[in-house]
Structure 1
């Protein structure tokens, strides 16, 4: 018969053995390598732009029929089109032949495939492209044929169709989110290069969608359509050198257009508006087509953001992260009222 000391010894030994087994099980559970979730499994796969034969684009635009033209700018002419493959309405930008022949379209397909990975509610997605001798085509999702520039400066439907202050704030906040995404949400980051009111499209719910981003390199020396929307440093070396800071400057100019209802006029708007903001002479600054808002806090804040974007040097300008955060907060406040 075992002594009490032996019984105690075997009891302790069994406890130690059980503890060791439990410890091993714990280590196995916690140290087991977990499967790594890929970025695609978390956000969904991103599909780059599709290449289309030029014959498909020609069919979709009825031979680039002038009746399908919905816009024209420094880079090209935009057509409303329908792709035969899926009967999907699209916007087709045909790059000006002079730009194609000047070799500025080198690496066109690679640029478009990279830009097409950008997906955000406040940008216009690029879904395809086409290239042939003398031709470079960009195929985009069709959002609207109407831009912010049209609503502010060309709309002749009367006072009832003028954007109100609430709509203007929502448009500013949406455009800020789109530009912030391009600057910080994409890798590599995308510099717009030509941010202006005509490159902010408005859908049927007046949601702002930023278009024509990342393709300013196709016309590096073309000043037409850019003067007034970029800072002096942009042309420092004789050709356009877009950067995030120049985009912020352009955004500030668009804010001034929203506040005043006036065009940029190649820099004249800034020279007229900035002294009024600094001297808080808002009755002279604000769009005369609209009634002065009863609560001026939001308008004053917008004006100060515009001033920070265009009135400071590049080093002192806010980032689009900061700008978007301020405008998002203002948008929430307006919605709560």
Structure 2
């Protein structure tokens, strides 16, 4: 007959064995974790009324002719050219198989599916089949702003005029204003940069790549995020450290300002090689030499001088270190559409 001690040991062994088998084969509900695909499927079911058409992986292969034409490559995966049954050309972004828990995929679908604006790229469909994830967008024949604004060749056919750069700047501002205030659900992009501004056949700018975007309640001002998100050089100070202020839509304003000032500096390279600003923080240099720079960059054309001045002054306002000192995107649009006579330079407080 077994003693009480032996029974206890046997029971303990049975518990250990049962726990091992349960963990090994996923029988314990508190040990099991939803696979990324399951989490995404659940998200898609809850948002079925807003997300665009779903395609199979076979459909994606067919529309891209087995991924014959690659348009670009990035950390997220690759983009291929394709066409739908009705003849519309599309850009198919194939996300890498190792895209974590699917957060970027869901962000993209959730964000763009809620938008409808001439300056925001249109998501036409998506694919989710096993580990295969794809996002299908309207095709932008002129690529990204990065391709045009930041060429090193002053005689290149890719060099945009000041007038066209200004139109791109104001179009992007309108798109951001819509995301911040015009949507039913407010959207903060968190990755505004030249690479994510796409240009259609008429060079109309469209904001793209919502993988880092944050959906917010309309009345919500401060945003909570885990870790810094965005691209170095365009990330607002408060995203790095709370000592600068709270994270909000003003973080996009900062990124927009840095992009506009980079557009200005990249367009005019006459001052880059032989002037005294090459070793100085460029926004600070612009602040100190605004009048001379505007006249030099525009070749003494009055109208162009005004456009350049608007871009610089607005850019300097947008990159103020303290978020509350920056304008809203609504105010940015007003400044760009208004007269330069009403534009004042911001306080000389820049992050160098």
- The alignment's TM-score, normalised by the length of structure 2, stands at 0.67
Picking from 270, 284, 298, the partner of 1:275 is 284
C-alpha distance after superposition, 1:83-108 (max 9, x if no partner): 2x32321111112233x2x21x1594
How far is the alpha carbon of 1:63 from its aligned partner? Answer: 2.5
Match of 2:188 in 1: 191
Q: Please show how residues 109-128 of structure 1 align to structure 2 within 5 Å.
A: 112-128=109-125
Matched, 1:72 2:73: yes
Match of 1:247 in 2: 252
| 3-state SS of 1:167 partner | helix
Match of 2:302 in 1: 294
Match of 1:96 in 2: 96
C-alpha distance after superposition, 1:167-221 (max 9, x if no partner): 111111111111111111112111112100111112222211111135457xx87
d(CA) in 2 for partners of 1:204 and 1:71? 18
How far is the alpha carbon of 1:53 from its aligned partner? Answer: 0.9
Contact map agreement 1:183 1:191 (CA 8 A) in 2 = yes
Match of 2:36 in 1: none
d(CA) in 2 for partners of 1:157 and 1:277? 21
d(CA) in 2 for partners of 1:209 and 1:232? 25
What value does the CA root-mean-square deviation take over the aligned residues? 3.4
Match of 1:307 in 2: 316
How far is the alpha carbon of 1:294 from its aligned partner? Answer: 3.2
Picking from 59, 63, 69, the partner of 2:62 is 59
- The alignment's TM-score, normalised by the length of structure 1, stands at 0.69
Shift in CA distance, 106/258, structure 1 to aligned 2, threshold 3 Å: closer
How far is the alpha carbon of 1:131 from its aligned partner? Answer: 1.0
Contact map agreement 1:277 1:304 (CA 8 A) in 2 = no
Shift in CA distance, 156/109, structure 1 to aligned 2, threshold 3 Å: same
| 3-state SS of 1:175 partner | helix
Q: Please show how residues 173-212 of structure 1 align to structure 2 within 5 Å.
A: 173-212=170-209
Contact map agreement 2:257 2:315 (CA 8 A) in 1 = yes
d(CA) in 1 for partners of 2:290 and 2:188? 34
Q: Please show how residues 207-226 of structure 1 align to structure 2 within 5 Å.
A: 207-213=204-210, 215-216=212-213, 226=231
Match of 2:239 in 1: 234
Flag the structure with larger Rg: 1
Contact map agreement 2:72 2:80 (CA 8 A) in 1 = yes
C-alpha distance after superposition, 1:284-326 (max 9, x if no partner): 58996x6354353332232111011112311211111111122
Matched, 1:138 2:135: yes
Q: Please show how residues 314-333 of structure 1 align to structure 2 within 5 Å.
A: 314-329=323-338
| 3-state SS of 1:253 partner | helix
Shift in CA distance, 97/282, structure 1 to aligned 2, threshold 3 Å: farther
| 3-state SS of 1:229 partner | coil
Matched, 1:148 2:151: no
Greater fraction of residues in helix: 1
Unmatched 5+ stretches in structure 2: 1-48, 215-225, 269-276, 341-352
Shift in CA distance, 214/191, structure 1 to aligned 2, threshold 3 Å: farther
d(CA) in 1 for partners of 2:300 and 2:66? 49
Unmatched 5+ stretches in structure 1: 1-45, 332-337
Shift in CA distance, 318/222, structure 1 to aligned 2, threshold 3 Å: closer
